[in-house]
A = this chain, B = another copy of it.
């Protein structure tokens, strides 16, 4: 029976041309290679080399064999990669979320319920999330609404409400509440990585310009220095104090988000604890 080791050494010989060079590079002794190449010939049942007393080279058979052996070796690579990748995916819980705060909740929950699983998370808008759930890219997604598709499992996953975050001296600073339309048309500063919120405000405030800031720290600097209004949510407010700004709630219904943890029924079976835990709560 053919030994992969021998095939590997054979292919290496094909690259380096002499047994001694090959032996050196593979960290085995020369005689070992001599022996193994002879064994390989036995395994093939065919002479693969043209030998003279102190020279050895591939013959016609050897040339074909080495071409084929290369194929086999690369296919073995492919095989192991596939299996390893499957294994990884089996141990990885892949979350797609529409917003950053539910991700944190989910991470906390998942590490508690499935501590042996790895976790990957991505922030996407709702369309690619649903698509990704269907094609297996995500095991679980978090949406800012309850999907109607009855083939999916949807569990309530917390609420979040949007506020205007107004700088000192802003005309509406003292308002107890505002509507999107009240500030529609005003330029605002916005942190980029807020998931579906960006889609929401673009839709509800079509006349405003949004100055997007990619870098988290830069955004906070800007928020401190600028006199432009920004956004904030109750989730943020509950965790850290406001710096030099006033948060005014937005009354519109669309600013009151109820998140859903969504997965396929198949995933519901694979990860039953989510359903169990979220229902008893």
Contact = CB atoms under 8 A, between A and B. Distances in A.
Interface of A: 1-5, 8, 43-48, 60-61, 64-65, 68-69, 71-72, 75-76, 78-80, 82-84, 86-87, 90
Contact of A82 (B68, B79, B83): B68
Given A60-B90, A61-B86, A61-B90, A44 B76 contact: no
Contact of A2 (B2, B4, B46, B60): B4
B44 A65 contact: no
Contacts of A44: 80, 83-84
5 contacts: A2-B80, A44-B83, A45-B80, A61-B90, A64-B83
> Per DSSP, are chain A's interface residues mostly helix, strand or loop, or mixed?
helix
Given A69-B79, A79-B68, A84 B5 contact: no
A87 B2 contact: no
Contacts of A61: 83, 86-87, 90
A45 B79 CA distance: 12
A57 to B, nearest CB: 16
B4 A1 contact: yes
Given A75-B71, A76-B2, A84 B46 contact: yes
Contact of A5 (B1, B65, B71): B1
A25 B79 CA distance: 26
A3 B48 CA distance: 22
Given A61-B87, A64-B83, 18 more contacts: A1-B4, A1-B8, A2-B4, A2-B80, A3-B3, A3-B4, A3-B5, A4-B4, A44-B80, A46-B83, A46-B84, A46-B87, A48-B83, A61-B83, A65-B79, A65-B83, A68-B79, A72-B76
Contacts of A45: 80, 84
Contacts of A90: 60-61
A65 to B, nearest CB: 5
A69 B3 CA distance: 15
A267 to B, nearest CB: 15
A3 to B, nearest CB: 6
A186 B61 CA distance: 56
Contacts of A47: 87
